[in-house]
Structure 1
């Protein structure tokens, strides 16, 4: 990651062009579209787990950014070595530990066992066939023996994340900044603020990795611009975004990226259909092998 810029507590270390061009997963032969799908599913898994653990959205968002950062660049983690589900759990556990809302390994692992159950999970990319009327508790209860082994994995992956990120766990979020900007622009109506937060939260799942390629102030400005336009709220007629250190080109890119999220999410569901997204190494290997066989058959 590049060095953190001037206002350390309001900015992030961003991914460099070299890191964005090549990932450890791509070097290991993971197709880029498969990597994107798994990152997207992993971010959703982190969000769902955080909600079930009753964590605040800022903790969940920081965990998703940490999860995303782990896979970036040739020095990042590879999907052929690390399971996305394990990295998701460790990122959430680590972020919570460093916050005012720490949670126990057992609580984290109980939630992930439920969410990863192919019979009981409410998540489309884990259980695409949908929930049965009465899912068997045996499919999502973590036994004591499994807990002990999974706890060791959780702690090992937590240490791996820290080493991979150079122990830089700082994540600045744009949500508070956006509220400040809305007040400065005299546009802080509940409807606009709600829509701004919706865009900022959706960006956490962006295939363009917006939270690791753009600073929080730029994300806040783009979300405000788009939300105000959607809600019919008039903003200053001048190029007000420049006051917040965002140029027109960056604003345009971010607005388009935010608008594309709905279609991206739909496309992912259509792409996988009734197949679960690979969340462990063996499943990733099987998907890669399947694709190779299809290519050879053609």
Structure 2
């Protein structure tokens, strides 16, 4: 196997037009809105990564691998795996590839909590003004038998993810690139950097699969461009994004995509807060 070159290390395999059409067809045929369900699954994955105390780059890798699995699996005409199990398997796999592996037991415990009525996820757990007696730990207790069954499903889905994506687990993330670009532009605003990272992390949850359609350098430049507009930081004059090999058309698309995510996320939160039980059932038993 040929070693990964420096340029390849900074790039990702991108989806094809045919694969995107297949995903859109699946969304139209889905009993629920496919984009909406995948977003909820991504939020669940992000929350699990936080409770497992995984670094953000590990959680980001798991989300990208999960998206690749969605696209590749549907593109091959295969049925979609259980939503929760696929999320668990992607977190378990990405952590295994990092310096912070987690045990299947920890994964099972965290997901049992997140999908219980005690969940800290605002649109899955009980509403804030719930009953006087909040749900107890028994609502997310995982018995030994349940754990063994769950563990087998996670390991099986991990194999399915790997085979679907051709065992290509390399994921180049734009976060470090963005910080390098900010320094190259001569900007030293912490507020700008914070907003750039917020856009990049939000992009991981975007239903537009930005991490599968654009390379890290384009994602980094778009996040910087939009963040600078929002926080009022003046960047250098001229088409500075061309220095980082980004075309105006890609920049415009990504800026709109990053900018529209907040509205999409707010609408999804409102929708699922009114349908908590349905969402919990979808994520727990597939979709």
The verdict on a shared fold, with TM-score over 0.5 as the criterion, is: yes
Give the 5 Å matches for 1:1-298: 7-23=7-23, 26=26, 29-30=29-30, 34-72=33-71, 73-75=74-76, 78-79=79-80, 82-117=81-116, 119-127=117-125, 129-130=127-128, 132=131, 133-276=133-276, 277=279, 278-281=282-285, 284=287
Q: 1:271, CA displacement in angstroms?
A: 3.0
RMSD: 2.1
C-alpha change, 1:77 and 1:110, in structure 2 (3 Å) is farther
Gap regions ≥5 residues in structure 2: none
Is the CA contact (8 Å cut-off) linking 1:24 and 1:74 kept in structure 2? no
* Rounded Cα–Cα distance in structure 2 between residues aligned with 1:54 and 1:188: 29
* Rounded Cα–Cα distance in structure 2 between residues aligned with 1:136 and 1:8: 49
* Rounded Cα–Cα distance in structure 2 between residues aligned with 1:124 and 1:61: 21
C-alpha change, 1:111 and 1:69, in structure 2 (3 Å) is same
Is the CA contact (8 Å cut-off) linking 1:25 and 1:78 kept in structure 2? no
Is the CA contact (8 Å cut-off) linking 1:23 and 1:76 kept in structure 2? no
C-alpha change, 1:77 and 1:177, in structure 2 (3 Å) is farther
Gap regions ≥5 residues in structure 1: 285-298
If asked which structure has higher relative contact order (CA below 8 Å, sep 6+), I would say 2
Q: Deviations over 1:197-249 (max 9, x none)?
A: 00000001111110111000000000000111111111111100001010111
* Rounded Cα–Cα distance in structure 1 between residues aligned with 2:88 and 2:165: 16
Is the CA contact (8 Å cut-off) linking 1:204 and 1:211 kept in structure 2? yes
C-alpha change, 1:170 and 1:231, in structure 2 (3 Å) is same
What is the aligned residue count?
Answer: 276
TM-score normalised by structure 2 residue count: 0.90
* Rounded Cα–Cα distance in structure 2 between residues aligned with 1:8 and 1:151: 34
Q: 1:187, CA displacement in angstroms?
A: 1.1
